[in-house]
Amino acid sequence: MDPPLPDLFDPDRAADFHYDPDPAAVFRAAIEWSARHRLPSAAADAGRTLLLLVDLQKDFCFPEGALYVAGRSGRGALEDNRRVATFLYRNLARVSATLCTLDSHLPHHIFSPAFWVDAGGDTPAVHRTVTAAEIRSGTIRPRAELAHWVAGGDYDWLSRQVLHYCEELERRGRYALYLWPPHCLVGSPGHAMVGVVQEARLFHAYARRAEAGLEIKGLNVLTEHYSVLQPEIATAHDGSTLAESGSKLAERLLAADRLVIAGQAASHCVKNTLEDLLLAIEARDPALAGRVYILEDCMSAVVVRDPAAPDRVVADFTAPAQQALERCRRAGMHVVPSTLPMAEWPSPEPAGARCT
């Protein structure tokens, strides 16, 4: 029988934006718990299970955050916080390591309204797309004052680059450029990890003498980085490199005997990470898809509501999230609820049809 959940875990804190666990207290509790329940070191695991937690940060996971992932229920990420922490505590002895990604941004970014001005010189509104046609027509353009540090003072280069960026996004068909509110700004409270998830991650690391890795993404202001594995567009219009791909990280993820994935948002950063992981799997060995387990109840889609009229939905990205999960399932990945005991999970098996 599995041990009970640790005493320090309070599920109600999953909805508390301000909860910040005390690392020293977590350490003491984890060491005592490990001794009491005779938890082995992760180094002794016969097979390695890696838990990848995508962008479980306060700006995404609470209504107080800048870009709350509410899902259609309105409580999406709040419930996901609790389920993620509960899953890790229930599986302390089965998870060998954790890797958490952190979406990390600077004040001006290509997806930020602050990066742009419209034809009248005003800052555009959030939650709108920017198209290549609008840039060509001058309906919207990059803010000229940014060129001195974004493009070495060359505004013409910057103008050509943003047009190239939007053209490439549209050509690839994954997203159009979408303007988001400022979020996950480095150094801000919203950049921090959700308290109960941080607590569970530290508890697991101390209790099992296990790796608790971090992966930073999103600092390059000229490209988006939804996927942890690669930027949306890696190359500038002149052939120079904007950001490096994460091929080494893909190899690290696929080296695990089981890779378990959860996080925010199902419609964006989780979706793109899964799609890029599938590309890496197909290039290496399609059967590796069978090692991947997606916690379907530990992620939610972005649903944007009008603050002045909460019943009015401005944007709903639920359908793309659901379609991505179905493609992953067809490719041979396992989509499972976090409440299903890991002992009852399907074994890794050859992948099915190609995920397209």
pLDDT digits (tens, 9 = 90+) for 313-339: 888 999 999 999 999 999 999 999 999
What does the alpha-carbon distance between residue 16 and residue 204 come to, in Å, rounded to a whole number? 21
Please determine, for residue 129, whether its predicted confidence score (pLDDT) is greater than 60: yes
What tokens were used for 125?
Answer: 């509104």
Please determine, for residue 250, whether its predicted confidence score (pLDDT) is greater than 70: yes
What does DSSP say about strands 116-118 and 129-130: parallel, antiparallel, or unpaired? unpaired
What does the alpha-carbon distance between residue 142 and residue 132 come to, in Å, rounded to a whole number? 12
Quick one: average pLDDT of 300-309? Answer: 89
Cβ atoms of 332 and 274 within 8 Å: the answer is no
What is the 8-class DSSP label of residue 26? Answer: H
What tokens were used for 184?
Answer: 């996950």
What does DSSP say about strands 140-142 and 116-118: parallel, antiparallel, or unpaired? antiparallel
Please determine, for residue 356, whether its predicted confidence score (pLDDT) is greater than 60: no
What tokens were used for 112?
Answer: 């930020």
DSSP state letters, 250-267: HHHHHTSSEEEEEES-TT
- Residues 168, 171, 174, 175, Cα dihedral to 10°: 60
Average per-residue pLDDT for the chain? 94
pLDDT at position 48:
96
Please determine, for residue 351, whether its predicted confidence score (pLDDT) is greater than 50: no
Question: How many CA atoms does the CB half-sphere of 59 hold within 13 Å?
Answer: 20
**Of residues 353 and 151, which shows the higher confidence score?**
151
CA 3 to chain centre: 30
Res. 1 pLDDT band, cuts 50 70 90? low
Percent of the chain with pLDDT over 70: 97
Please determine, for residue 349, whether its predicted confidence score (pLDDT) is greater than 70: no
pLDDT at position 244:
77
Quick one: average pLDDT of 121-147? Answer: 96
Please determine, for residue 86, whether its predicted confidence score (pLDDT) is greater than 90: yes
**Of residues 17 and 307, which shows the higher confidence score?**
17
pLDDT at position 245:
72
Please determine, for residue 350, whether its predicted confidence score (pLDDT) is greater than 60: no
What does DSSP say about strands 303-306 and 309-316: parallel, antiparallel, or unpaired? antiparallel
Domains and CATH numbers, the chain: 11-105+185-344 (3.40.50.850), 113-178 (no CATH)
Q: Helix, strand, or coil here: 270?
A: helix
Res. 243 pLDDT band, cuts 50 70 90? confident
Quick one: average pLDDT of 79-102? Answer: 98
CA 88 to chain centre: 17
pLDDT at position 9:
97
Which amino acid, residue 25?
A
Please determine, for residue 355, whether its predicted confidence score (pLDDT) is greater than 70: no
